[in-house]
Structure 1
Amino acid sequence: MKIRDVMNSEPVAIQATEAVSDAVRLLRTNEISGMPVLEGDRLAGVVSESDLLRMLSVEREGGLWLPSPLEVLEVPIRDLIRWEKLQAGAEEAGMTRVSEVMTKKVFTVSPEDSIERAASMMVRHRINRLPVLEEGKLVGIVTRGDIIAGLGMEAEEVEED
């Protein structure tokens, strides 16, 4: 079975110059976890929930902290300041360009590739989606779910024979 048989030929995509907040909106609205990033009509990368979470990751504080009696009064203020910094960081992150957070090293397939090849690439590189390119232009996207569905269709065809 070919990628052409299982791919989504109308992928949701975003331009590299768009704001991260627009990418978040598109991901949520379309109930997807990642999408191709374009510069004009050429593939520039992929942006996923993981990319966005990595951008917002906050350094973890290590060790055990036991406050002194005077610090107990300071804790709510410290937490409020930390919350305000986190909020400001999230607002600033929303204005960041998608090109700054996207994954630039993208594995792709063509419509004529086999679903076995795509599955192998996904497993080997631990990725969930592959943009489908034809003559350098985005013509679709194939996800793990698409491949599983394709395998199910193949199994049904074998049973019918």
Structure 2
Amino acid sequence: MSASRSESRLQRLLPAPLNIPPREWLRAAIGALLGLFLAGWLTSMAFGTGIALHLLGPLAASAVLVFAVHSGPLAQPWPVLGSYAVAGVVGLAMRQSFGAELWVAAAALGISILVMCLLRCLHPPGGGVAVSAVLADSGLSAMGDRLLEPVLLNALILVAVAVLYNRLTGVCYPKGAAPRKDLHHTHDPLPSERVGIRGEDLDQALGELGEFVDVTRDELERIILATEQHALQRSLGGITAASVMSRDVQFASPETTLEQAWRMLASHHLKTLPVLQHGKLVGIVSLSDLVGPAMLRGRFSWRGLFSRKAIRMAQVMSRRVISVSSQHPLERLLPLLCEQGLHCLPVVDGDQLVGVITQTDLIAGLKRQLLSRTEGSGQRVPAL
């Protein structure tokens, strides 16, 4: 018992593991090495080795942020550049006014934090720049106001290397807000956003927390949505497209006429038709694809049917078809049929069309899963 208690106490003392793969460690380490070396080398070429080496401390801390914690709000280009400029100005002003004393360096640090927060450019290494400017050696102090030049040059080079290196290694930097999907060009939120966590909920929660959280709201929202996706995958219990798809598929060919397609959609109460040629899926046609050509032909008449050239599906079908396999997990069908505005997903195994999944099929599958889970728990199900 005592051994288990000791082990539990030891685990509480240990830091939480970093959720970063080892490959990312190496990527960040190489990037920080390149960024610090290039900034230090170019600054030494322009202002001398002594000045460049004196300013490397804050720069090294910035390199850790922009390469290893690149998605955080403190690591974005504006905090880096803005904090270096603010801290350099405050440090120089405090040194010229009060001298190179310890209390002056501490005061410069405090004032820099206030101004950085006001200008939304909080960046921890900026505090090191302010202290370095106050406690500068004789070589740096002799530069006077020109000390801002190597400070800003360091920041500019580091940010430029970070943008180039991060993007070359597959990392989106700087981090911008994710564009909102607007398929229908209305003010309504997406169907997946109408129930559950919203952006204003995150703003309120962060405000109630009363502390600084080193993650942007967009990043936090993406983390929560990804967590919900994994929870949904677990709750659906491995249901695949094969479980909910319609197998008796009604389809057209590239030579099917406009009138034939209309009759097929009407008789089977469908909104889309897969288009097959020699047994392979080559396109898909929907009601919206047929409305335009039908309106161009004007009002139908028997004379018009015989005198006008028939419109074939090859002329109106969409050739870029989004399809899934029969083993596609059900939870991954939700964004396709809800957010991307698709009404029908062909199910293809190899080159063979084996079924289709409509929004109705998806709703029926979710209802069946809800009923089975509730029956297992003994709870009463509300009428659907």
Q: In which range does the TM-score fall when normalised by the shorter chain? A: 0.7 to 0.9
Partner residue, 2:22? none
* Alpha-carbon distance in 2 for matches of 1:30, 1:17: 20
Higher strand share: 1
* Alpha-carbon distance in 2 for matches of 1:114, 1:122: 13
Alpha-carbon RMSD across the aligned residues, in angstroms, is 1.9
SS of corresponding position for 2:346: strand
The reply on whether 1:17 has 2:255 as its aligned counterpart is yes
* Alpha-carbon distance in 2 for matches of 1:96, 1:57: 12
Q: Which moved more, 1:7-16 or 1:123-132?
A: 123-132
Contiguous gaps of at least 5 residues in structure 1: 59-84
Partner residue, 1:131? 346
* Aligned with residue 52 of structure 1, among 290, 309, 315: 290
Residue identity in the other structure for 1:27 = L
Higher helix share: 2
Which whole-Å deviations, capped at 9, do the CAs of 1:32-58 have from their partners, x for residues lacking one? 111100111000111111100122345
SS of corresponding position for 2:298: helix
Structure showing greater radius of gyration is 2
* Aligned with residue 86 of structure 1, among 275, 298, 315: 298
Aligned ranges 1:117-156 → 2 under 5 Å: 117-156=332-371
* Alpha-carbon distance in 2 for matches of 1:48, 1:88: 20
The reply on whether 1:97 has 2:312 as its aligned counterpart is yes
Quote the offset at 1:125 in angstroms. Answer: 2.3
Which whole-Å deviations, capped at 9, do the CAs of 1:71-100 have from their partners, x for residues lacking one? xxxxxxxxxxxxxx723797447x111110
Residue pair 1:34, 1:46 contacting (<8 A) in 2 also: yes
Quote the offset at 1:152 in angstroms. Answer: 0.3
Quote the offset at 1:118 in angstroms. Answer: 1.4
Residue pair 1:119, 1:144 contacting (<8 A) in 2 also: no
The reply on whether 1:28 has 2:266 as its aligned counterpart is yes
* Alpha-carbon distance in 2 for matches of 1:124, 1:104: 21
Residue identity in the other structure for 1:87 = R
* Alpha-carbon distance in 1 for matches of 2:332, 2:254: 28
Aligned length: 134
Partner residue, 1:41? 279
SS of corresponding position for 1:138: strand
Contiguous gaps of at least 5 residues in structure 2: 1-238, 377-384
Partner residue, 1:160? 375
TM-score by length of 1: 0.76
